[in-house]
């Protein structure tokens, strides 16, 4: 390894860009000039686009354009390890590639510091939200990821000619009634049948439909580039190297099947579908949440139960089937302290255009 004038380092040996993309990225390495791009197994072309950004193109006409991202929250380690292994398997030919693929390791600074984020939650800074910040580590990273994603989709076939996908993999902070679940950004349309089937093959037990546009990475790709986009929550966070990756097998197999364009696993049962019906917002520092600090996501609330109070404000459960997701009383005032969701499986599946 040699040091460059700008403080970055050039890798001349292992860990390599393709064989260990995670270590390569954590080391803040950059390829030697003539190795930033090239050809790996089966005629697949690769191109390093910057820290944590790697693009692949298959030799044959691609069937889809796919973004696979992990580490948008730096301490959500297991999916980052899976993505790094997938890169190595594409490079050596163990995983055949049938699509254009952009691999993204999101918040590398936070990955190095083993924390969710350094200054601001990167997954709230997309759709241009980064422009409203005055500084901080994540502002520039959000802009970089948006630009790389924009270039990737600008070179893609139109969405109606070749599907566009974005799978953003996370792990949850807390336990969940449904251990692995997916969040779908708000698009104003019913979820695509292809996305529901893919989630079923990934053994995702539940889907949460947002009813308002957020500023997440998947919101950005769905609304700007018509990608079928989902945020996967795949279980609990552990440090690098301490994850039982077998626990993530189904999701890993589904991502690999997507990029190889082969069907794997059964598309039944379909995930249960939940829709956001209310948001609990923390207004002041007097905010109190009347739930145990470790209450699992999707816990059913009792009708008449007081869930939150903040001065004169009360949130009282009025329906019999309300559930709490992402309760967090320690957010800053003005931010979301929890979502209230209800099950809408039957209505949603009836609304979904089959074969889309
Ligand atoms: Zn996350």
Q: Which CATH number goes with the domain that contains 328?
A: 2.40.50.630
The answer on 187 and 123 residing in a single domain is yes
Q: What was the pLDDT predicted at 9? A: 46
Distance CA 142, CA 173 (A): 22
How close is the Cα of 161 to the center of ligand 1, in Å? 31
Instruction: Please indicate, yes or no, whether residues 222 and 300 belong to a single structural domain of this protein.
Output: no
pLDDT digits (tens, 9 = 90+) for 268-318: 889 999 999 999 999 999 999 999 988 999 999 999 999 999 999 999 999
127 & 27 share domain: yes
Assess whether 233 carries a catalytic annotation: yes
Domain count, the chain: 2
Helix (H) or strand (E) holding 323: strand 323-325
pLDDT for 12: 41
Lookup result for tokens 């979820």: 191
- How far does the centroid of ligand 1 lie from the alpha carbon of residue 166, in Å? 15
| Residues of the chain predicted below pLDDT 50 | 1-3, 8-14, 355-356
pLDDT tens figures, 129-171: 999 999 999 999 999 999 999 999 999 999 899 999 999 999 9
CA of 179 to the centre of ligand 1 (A): 14
* Claim to verify: residue 168 and residue 51 sit in the same structural domain: yes
Ligand 1: centre distance to CA 300 (Å): 23
Residue 354 falls inside a structural domain: no
Per-residue confidence (pLDDT) for residue 10, from 0 to 100: 43
Q: Domain check: are 289 and 142 in the same one? A: no
Query: Measured in angstroms, how far is the CA atom of residue 119 from the centroid of ligand 1?
Result: 15
pLDDT value of residue 1: 43
Q: Given this model, what pLDDT does residue 15 score?
A: 52
User: Which of 91, 231, 75 minimizes the C-alpha distance to 166?
Assistant: 231
Inside any domain, residue 167: yes
| Cβ count near 196 (within 10 Å) | 26
Are 309 and 163 members of one domain? no
Domain range for residue 330?
A: 277-344
**230: Cβ contacts below 8 Å, ≥ 6 apart:** 166, 167, 168, 182, 183, 184, 195, 199, 207, 218
Interval between CA 172 and ligand 1 midpoint (Å)? 6
Q: Is the distance from CB of 68 to CB of 145 less than 8 angstroms? A: no
Considering the domain architecture, whether residues 191 and 321 belong to the same structural domain is answered as no
Same domain, 300 and 254: no
Which of 81, 138, 233, 322 is the catalytic position?
233
Helices (H) and strands (E) in the chain, counts: 8, 19
Q: Which two tokens stand for residue 165?
A: 């996908």
243 and 322 housed in the same domain: no
What's the CA-to-centroid distance between 184 and ligand 1, angstroms? 14
């Amino acid at each position: 390894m040699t040091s460059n004038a700008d403080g970055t380092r050039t890798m001349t040996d292992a860990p390599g860009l393709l064989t260990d993309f995670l270590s390569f990225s954590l080391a803040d390495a950059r390829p030697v000039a003539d190795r930033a791009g090239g050809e790996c197994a089966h005629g697949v072309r690769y191109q390093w686009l910057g820290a944590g950004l790697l693009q692949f193109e298959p030799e044959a006409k691609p069937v889809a354009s796919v973004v696979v991202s992990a580490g948008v929250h730096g301490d959500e380690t297991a999916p980052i390890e899976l993505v790094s292994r997938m890169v190595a398997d594409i490079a050596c030919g163990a995983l055949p590639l049938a699509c254009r693929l952009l691999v993204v390791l999101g918040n590398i600074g936070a990955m190095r510091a083993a924390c969710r984020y350094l200054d601001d939650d990167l997954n709230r800074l997309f759709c241009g939200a980064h422009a409203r910040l005055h500084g901080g580590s994540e502002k520039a990273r959000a802009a970089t990821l948006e630009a790389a994603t924009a270039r990737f989709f600008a070179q893609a076939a139109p969405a109606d000619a070749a599907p566009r996908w974005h799978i953003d993999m996370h792990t949850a902070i807390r336990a969940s009634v449904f251990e692995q679940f997916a969040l779908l950004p708000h698009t104003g349309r019913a979820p695509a049948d292809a996305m529901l089937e893919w989630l079923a093959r990934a053994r995702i037990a539940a889907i949460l439909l947002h009813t308002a546009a957020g500023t997440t990475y998947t919101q950005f790709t769905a609304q700007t580039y018509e990608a079928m986009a989902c945020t996967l929550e795949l279980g609990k966070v552990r440090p690098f190297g301490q994850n039982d990756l077998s626990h993530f097998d189904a999701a890993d197999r589904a991502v690999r099947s997507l990029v190889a364009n082969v069907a794997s696993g059964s598309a039944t049962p379909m995930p249960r579908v939940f829709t956001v019906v209310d948001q609990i917002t923390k207004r002041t520092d007097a905010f109190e949440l009347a739930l145990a600090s470790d209450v699992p996501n999707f816990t059913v609330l009792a009708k008449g139960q007081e869930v939150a109070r903040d001065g004169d404000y009360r949130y009282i459960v009025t329906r019999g089937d309300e559930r709490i997701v992402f309760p967090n009383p320690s957010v800053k005032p003005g931010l979301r302290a929890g979502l209230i969701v209800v099950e809408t499986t039957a209505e949603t599946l009836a609304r979904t255009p089959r074969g889309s």
